[in-house]
Amino acid sequence: MNFSSLSEIAKYIVADGKGILAADESNPTCKKRFDSISVESTEENRRDYRELLFTSEGMKKNIGGVILFDETIRQHSDSGKSLVEIIVERGALPGIKVDKGLQPFNGSEIETLTQGLDDLDERCAEYAALGAKFTKWRAVISIGQNIPSQECIDANMEALASYAKTAQKHGMVPIVEPEVLINGEHSIEDCYDATSRSIKSLFDYLDSYDVDISGTILKPNMVTPGLDHAHAATVEEVAEATVKCLNDNVPTELPGIAFLSGGQTEIESTEHLNMMNKIGGFPWKLSFSYGRALQASALSAWLGKKENISAAQDAFSHRAEMNKLASLGKWSHSLEE
C-alpha cells in the first residue's frame, strides 16, 4: 500500500466504518489479562495470542489499523512471516505505541505527565523503518477534588503536540490520545468539562507546533459519568454530550476520531458509538480504537489453547464487525444474538 501523504494514511485507517485494534498492551497489562484466564504471560504466548487476532477473518474490511507494542512489531510467526506483514496482508496498517508511561505531575499523588519525548526522534526513525505507518501517545487526565488542573492538562497536551510533530517528521500519522479517566464519582457534566478543556488545549498546542491536522487522528474518551457516580447516563445522554463536546472543540479538517473504550463493556462501547453516528451532523469519521472492547470475548474463548483458536477468532471477528456497523450507525442489539 503506497500513500502520498499523511492525510491519505489517516483517511485509510478510518475509511468505510473501519477502526483500530489496540493491541499495544504493555507486558504488565498483558500479564493481568492472561492471569484472568490462567495463562502464563511469556513472549511466545503473547505472540500466539496476537497472531490469532491478526489472522482472524474479521480483520478484513473492519480493521484499518493495529496499534502494536515494541515487542510485537519485531515478532515473527511460526512460519517466519513478520506480524507486521500479516497485518498488512489483512488490509490494515501497523502502528506503534511510543509513549513511555506516566510520572507524577508536580509531585501530585493523582495527576500525571506522560514520558517519552527524550529519545522519541530516534525511536520514530526505527519504527518507520520497521514498517509502522502511524503512532500513538496517551495522556491521562484524572477527575477529582480540584482536578484536573489546567497546568496538568496543558503540560500533557503540549507533550502530545511535540510527539505529534516528531511522528509526522518521520512520515507517520500521530494518534493523539487525551484520556479523561472514567474512574471516580464525577458526574457527566464534570467529564464534559475536563474533556472539553483537554481537547481545546490539545488543538491549541497542535496548532502552535504546526502539526498537520489533516494527517492526525484523535483518540478521546466518551463523555460519561464516573464508574462510581450515583446515576448512570442513558445511551442518548452519553452520545449527545460527546458529540457536542467534539463539535465545540475539534477542527473540521481532522479526518477521524477513534474512541477508546476506557472501561466500558463490549456492548456499551458499541452502543454509544452507534448512537453518535445515528445523531450525525459532524465533519469527521467517528470510529473506534478499542483494546478490551474488541478482545475480551476472544480472550475468554481462547484460554491459551490451540484447539480454541478458531472460536477465539470468531469472537474477535464478531466484535470487529459489530463496531464497524456502529461506525456507520447501522448496529442494533438484535445482531448480537
Query: Mean pLDDT of all residues in the chain?
Result: 97
- Overall average pLDDT of the 211-228 stretch: 97
pLDDT in tens, 101-139: 999 999 999 999 999 999 999 999 999 999 999 999 999
- Overall average pLDDT of the 75-79 stretch: 93
pLDDT in tens, 175-199: 999 999 999 999 999 999 999 999 9
Pairing of strands 102-104, 112-114: antiparallel
Which one, of 263, 259, 225, 229, lies nearest residue 243 by Cα? 259
Which one, of 106, 116, 257, 117, lies nearest residue 178 by Cα? 257
User: What element of type H or E holds 136?
Assistant: strand 134-141
Topology annotation, domain 6-336: TIM Barrel (3.20.20)
Beta-carbon count within 10 A of 41 CB: 17
Q: State the pLDDT at residue 222.
A: 98
Q: Where are the alpha helices (DSSP H) in the chain?
A: 6-13, 27-35, 43-54, 70-73, 83-89, 120-129, 150-169, 188-208, 235-249, 266-279, 292-302, 309-327
337 band by pLDDT with thresholds 50, 70 and 90: confident
Catalytic residues: 177, 219
As given in the structure block, the three cell numbers for residue 200 are 481545546
| Cβ–Cβ < 8 Å for 182, 224 | yes
Cis peptide before 283 (omega within 30 of 0): no
Question: Rounded to an integer, what distance in angstroms lies between the CA atom of residue 216 and that of residue 319?
Answer: 25
Full DSSP string of 169-220: HTT-EEEEEEEE---SS--HHHHHHHHHHHHHHHHHHHHHTT--GGG-EE-P
Query: 3-state class of 117 per DSSP?
Result: coil
Which one, of 17, 84, 99, lies nearest residue 274 by Cα? 17
**What is the DSSP secondary structure assignment for residue 15, as one 8-state letter?**
G
